[in-house]
Amino acid sequence: MDGHRLLHMLRGKRLVFVGDSLNRNMWESLICILRNSVKNKKRVYEANGRVHFRGEASYSFIFKDYSFSVELFVSPFLVQEWEMPDKNGTKKQTLRLDLVGRSSDQYKDADIIIFNTGHWWTHDKTSKG
């Protein structure tokens, strides 16, 4: 991949990844490729100064010389997690397949959005419904 060429193509854009740890891995790889393609690495930084990227949050790398950002919104299911009362009056965790994740308002104006999830759909919690 020609990171320098890709940076020129993405100049002035906002690229957003939304998904689980699989998407985080792709986001991290792309940042490494692009950052290694710039001359002044000090002009590439995480917007909030974060250095660890394993939590439930959002992250944004700024490529200052290109007016470009590549962001990650952690959203394991892409849809909203929900609770519903069951027959016994206790709450049962479920997913609202008709509602996108709560963070969607933060990235809906992005130029490019990459959705990806997979790991959680075979998780015990999901398979038991």
pLDDT digits (tens, 9 = 90+) for 58-71: 889 999 999 999 99
96 within domain boundaries? no
Q: Give Cα separations from 29 to 25, 35, 41, 60, 75 (angstroms).
A: 6, 10, 16, 14, 18
Q: Which domain holds residue 60?
A: 14-78+108-127
63 within domain boundaries? yes
Question: Is the model's pLDDT at 48 over the cut of 70?
Answer: yes
pLDDT digits (tens, 9 = 90+) for 9-35: 999 999 999 988 888 889 999 999 999
pLDDT reported for residue 41: 94
**How many domains does the chain divide into?**
1
Report residue 35 as tokens: 């950052």
68 within domain boundaries? yes
Q: Given pLDDT bands bounded at 50, 70 and 90, which one contains residue 53? A: low
pLDDT reported for residue 24: 87
Chain centroid to CA 24: 6
69 within domain boundaries? yes
Question: Is the model's pLDDT at 72 over the cut of 70?
Answer: yes
87 within domain boundaries? no
pLDDT reported for residue 111: 97
114 within domain boundaries? yes
52 within domain boundaries? yes
Helices (H), 10-85: 21-35
Average pLDDT in the 38-64 region? 85
pLDDT digits (tens, 9 = 90+) for 96-128: 878 888 788 889 999 999 998 776 666 565 566
54 within domain boundaries? yes
